[in-house]
Homo-oligomer: A and B are copies of this chain.
């Protein structure tokens, strides 16, 4: 059965899946500002919209748009700003 997860009072929702090689989620983030933590290495792709990311240990924000991808190490915290409802795909290694 496909598992749906909710975060931040339902402002972020995702559906888990198993790809050919890795566990993954697809999800949607509502407009807002969030801090997420990783437990595994994550590779995140923006499917629609844009995510503005503050990478661990930095103060700068960088925006990733539809089709763009970024990586996060395991066991880090990172900031996300979202201006329009944004769909993402994330794999976990």
> Inside 8 A of A47's CB, which chain B residues have their CB?
26, 45, 47, 89
State whether B10 touches A13 (Cβ < 8 A): no
A17-59 CB mask vs B (1 if < 8 Å, else 0) is 1111000101110100000000000000101110000000000
Copies in the complex: 2
Q: Main secondary structure on chain A at its contact with chain B?
A: strand
> Does A74 lie at the interface of the complex (its beta carbon under 8 Å from any beta carbon of B)?
no
**A15-B13 in contact given A28-B2, A47-B89, A89-B47 (Cβ < 8 Å):** yes
> Inside 8 A of A13's CB, which chain B residues have their CB?
2, 4, 15
Residue in chain B with minimal CB distance to A10? B1
State whether A17 touches B48 (Cβ < 8 A): yes
